[in-house]
Amino acid sequence: MILTVGFPKIKNFGGDIRDFLPSLFSYLKKFDNIEVFLEKGYGSGFGLNEIDYIEANPKIKFVPEEEVYNKDLIVIIKMPELKNLEKLKDGCSIFTMCHYHTRASYVELFKRKGVKSFSMDAIVDDYGKRIFVDYFRTAYNGSVIAFKELKKSMPDFYSPHRRPINVTVLGVGFVAQHCARSFEILGDEEFLGKNIPGIIIKLLPRTVTYSHNLMKTILETTDILVDATSRRDLSEVIVENKSLGYLPDHAIILDLSADRYDEGQFKPIEGTILGNLSKMIIYNNDEQYNNLPQNVERSNRRTTVSCNAWPGVTPKESIQFYEVIIKDYLNILLNKNIEEIDKESDNYFERALFRSSLSNYLNNLKI
Q: What angle do CA 112, 117, 119 make, to 5 degrees?
A: 135
Give the HSE-up count for residue 152: Cα atoms under 13 Å, Cβ half-sphere: 9
pLDDT at position 233, please?
Answer: 84
Paired residues of 304 in beta bridges: 253, 282
pLDDT at position 216, please?
Answer: 97
Check for a shared fold between 4-132+315-366 and 135-312: yes
Q: What is the pLDDT averaged over residues 291-298? A: 92
Domain range summary for the chain, segments of one domain joined by +: 4-132+315-366, 135-312
Q: Which CATH architecture has domain 135-312?
A: 3-Layer(aba) Sandwich (3.40)
| Strands 281-282, 303-306: pairing kind | antiparallel
**Distance between CA 43 and CA 9 in Å, rounded?**
8
pLDDT at position 1, please?
Answer: 85
Confidence of residue 174 (pLDDT cuts 50, 70, 90): very high
Confidence of residue 343 (pLDDT cuts 50, 70, 90): very high
12 has a pLDDT exceeding 90: no
Q: What is the pLDDT averaged over residues 335-343? A: 94
pTM over 0.85: no
Paired residues of 269 in beta bridges: 239
Paired residues of 61 in beta bridges: 37
Contacts of 55 (CB under 8 A, 6+ apart): 22
Residue type (1 letter), 122: A
Task: For the chain, give the mean pLDDT.
Answer: 94
Q: Could you read off the pLDDT of 178-203 as tens digits, one per residue?
A: 999 999 999 999 999 999 999 999 99
**Distance between CA 160 and CA 198 in Å, rounded?**
10
Contact 243, 204 (CB under 8 A): no
**Residue 161 vs residues 50, 147, 196, 197, 340: alpha-carbon distances, Å:** 58, 19, 8, 8, 65
Percent of the chain with pLDDT over 70: 99
**Distance between CA 365 and CA 352 in Å, rounded?**
18
Contact 333, 2 (CB under 8 A): yes
Instruction: Estimate the share of the chain in helix, then strand, then coil, as percent rounded to the nearest 5.
Output: 40, 15, 45
**Residue 326 vs residues 2, 32, 76, 165: alpha-carbon distances, Å:** 16, 19, 11, 39
CATH code for residues 4-132+315-366: 3.40.50.720
Cα–chain-centroid distance for residue 253? 17
pLDDT at position 227, please?
Answer: 97
Q: What is the pLDDT averaged over residues 215-230? A: 97
